[in-house]
């Protein structure tokens, strides 16, 4: 065989052509008789992985019969890497927006509860003073103290929740 017709030069039988998906795409182009575009991931024998885009167009003789194919191979690895980074970036942005929305939705009812509990604590102190002047029983004084501690614990919990929501909003 001449230099141009050696079997190892035929993209359909060459290991590189098979590994990169070129052979399969050329066969499809030849069988359909139309331009075929495909993307494949190729790993070389030395371990480099590349994403390639193939554009295969049929070549026709003067009679109109397909005599071969023209193959354009483009390395699109860098573009794929950039696209993946953009997708990750968009996902993180979505997570940030979600966190900001959740923080906002948590903050509104917490602010109302904080205000209501602060008013309740003031009223509780006033009621406690009024009852103290009437020489209340020791058991009643203990119950007042327990209720006051519950109000204070509730306010602390609300402040912690508001701080968490603020941290989420700052993260977003």
Q: What is the pLDDT of residues 7-25, one digit of tens each?
A: 555 666 666 666 667 888 8
Q: Over the stretch 35-74, which tens digit does the pLDDT of each residue have?
A: 999 998 888 778 888 888 989 999 999 999 999 999 888 8
Instruction: Name the β-bridge partners of 51.
Output: 41
Residue carrying structure tokens 């968490």: 164
Phi, psi of 53 (to 5 degrees): -105, 130
Q: What is the pLDDT of residue 166?
A: 84
Number of Cβ within 10 Å of residue 56's Cβ equals 23
Number of Cβ within 10 Å of residue 123's Cβ equals 10
Query: Residues 59, 45: contact at Cβ < 8 Å?
Result: no
CA distances from 166 to 82, 163, 172 (A): 33, 5, 10
- Of 35, 33, 29, give the one whose Cα is nearest residue 12: 29
Q: Which tops the pLDDT comparison, 69 or 135?
A: 69
User: What is the arithmetic mean of pLDDT over 109-128?
Assistant: 85
CA distances from 164 to 111, 114, 169 (A): 13, 15, 9
Highest mean pLDDT among 32-36, 44-48, 128-132: 32-36
Q: Is the pLDDT of residue 3 over 60?
A: no
Q: What is the pLDDT of residue 136?
A: 60
Q: Over the stretch 64-102, which tens digit does the pLDDT of each residue have?
A: 999 999 988 888 999 999 999 999 999 988 988 888 888
Number of Cβ within 10 Å of residue 73's Cβ equals 19
């Amino acid at each position: 065989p001449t230099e141009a017709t050696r079997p190892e030069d035929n993209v359909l039988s060459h290991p590189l052509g098979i590994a990169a998906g070129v052979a399969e795409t050329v066969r499809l182009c030849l069988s359909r008789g139309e331009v075929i575009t495909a993307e494949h991931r190729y790993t070389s024998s030395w371990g480099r992985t590349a994403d390639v885009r193939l554009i295969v167009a049929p070549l026709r003789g003067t009679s109109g019969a397909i005599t071969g194919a023209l193959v354009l191979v483009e390395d699109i690895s860098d573009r794929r890497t950039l696209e993946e980074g953009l997708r990750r970036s968009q996902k993180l942005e979505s997570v940030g927006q979600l966190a900001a929305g959740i923080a906002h939705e948590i903050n509104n009812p917490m602010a109302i509860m904080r205000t209501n509990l602060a008013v309740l604590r003031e009223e509780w102190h006033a009621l406690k003073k009024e009852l103290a002047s009437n020489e209340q029983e020791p058991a009643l004084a203990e119950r007042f103290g327990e209720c006051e501690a519950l109000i204070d614990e509730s306010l602390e919990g609300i402040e912690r929740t508001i701080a968490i929501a603020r941290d989420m909003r700052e993260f977003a």
